[in-house]
Chain A
């Protein structure tokens, strides 16, 4: 029984892939993969926050068909994305282009990580410096301590 359930669990995702393949048949695995990536990276303008692969909206279906047609005709990924962006706007990109307007969008995570690193480093450096100055003895104090230790030596 357990084996059967396990097998079912393993096969279920394949059913999804098979269905996908039947609807949009491709001649090569490469085209199939490109179609899958593209439909995942394009956003449905009607049902926002869904990609066109997942969405059931009629417009998402039209967009899938356009992607399918263009991939079959041998268009590059950029050409497919650009053709949809020219109709529906930058909104349909889940991965926005890197340009002046999206600079902050892409740069913010890097800036925040660098800021965090800076804070951590400064805290570590400062606490290390503090412990050094607190515990370390000046050369005179060290000599005196050595002397005291020698004097108290029973030998």
Chain B
């Protein structure tokens, strides 16, 4: 009986080791969005190219779309740009852009030179909608369903792998729903 008790510290140390080992290599910088399953926050923002057009939540109604948060100041956004063009062209996914804390003329120039994958672009120089969406670093990409409900958030660059493994299946799933 006493001898068994002597093993308690060893067992505790092993358990502690397992708990700590489980945390090694985990990506702690990616946070799940607090808005999953919630409707898009109410917004009214100008269109990037036509400042007189006001865009609202209606943009997201009726089709499953991606919302891509980007800015010309964001190097990773440049990295993912060709992949967004590929998505819009080959996969037929409507991508709504959220031009986040950016400058209008620079943003338009960027789209004119690099190509424009976006079906619409919301111009959010103060980052108001970005703040309501809990954006903490561009690029971020949200999957929004037909009803305008946020279903998923991907933090970081979207590439072919992310599309095939994560975003694509989700978009298909929500397209099949109603």
Tell me whether A58 and B33 are in contact (CB under 8 A).
no
Among the 9-residue stretches A32-40, A72-80, A86-94, the one with 4 or more Cβ atoms under 8 Å from chain B is A86-94
Among the 9-residue stretches B52-60, B130-138, B165-173, the one with 4 or more Cβ atoms under 8 Å from chain A is B130-138
Question: For residue A66, which residues in chain B have a CB less than 8 angstroms away from its CB?
Answer: 131
Question: For residue B135, which residues in chain A have a CB less than 8 angstroms away from its CB?
Answer: 59
Determine which of B31, B101, B132 lies in contact with A45 in the assembled complex, contact meaning CB atoms within 8 Å.
B31
**Binary interface encoding of chain B residues 93-124 relative to chain A, with 1 for a CB under 8 A from any of its CBs, else 0:** 00000000100000000000000000000000
Question: For residue A45, which residues in chain B have a CB less than 8 angstroms away from its CB?
Answer: 31, 134, 136
Majority DSSP secondary structure for residues of A touching B = helix
What is the total number of residues of chain A having a CB less than 8 Å from a CB of chain B?
14
**Binary interface encoding of chain A residues 53-70 relative to chain B, with 1 for a CB under 8 A from any of its CBs, else 0:** 000001100100010000
Question: Taking each of B28, B34, B101, B133, which has the highest tally of chain A beta carbons within 10 Å of its own beta carbon?
Answer: B34
**Is B176 positioned at the interface, with any CB of A under 8 Å from its CB?**
no
**Is A110 positioned at the interface, with any CB of B under 8 Å from its CB?**
no
Which residue in chain A gives the minimum CB-CB distance to B35?
A: A87
Tell me whether A87 and B34 are in contact (CB under 8 A).
yes
Tell me whether A87 and B31 are in contact (CB under 8 A).
no
Known: A48-B28, A88-B134. 6 other contacts (CB 8 A): A66-B131, A86-B34, A87-B34, A87-B132, A88-B31, A90-B34
Which residues of A are interface residues toward B (Cβ below 8 A)? 45-46, 48, 58-59, 62, 66, 85-91
Which residues of B are interface residues toward A (Cβ below 8 A)? 28-29, 31-35, 101, 127, 131-137
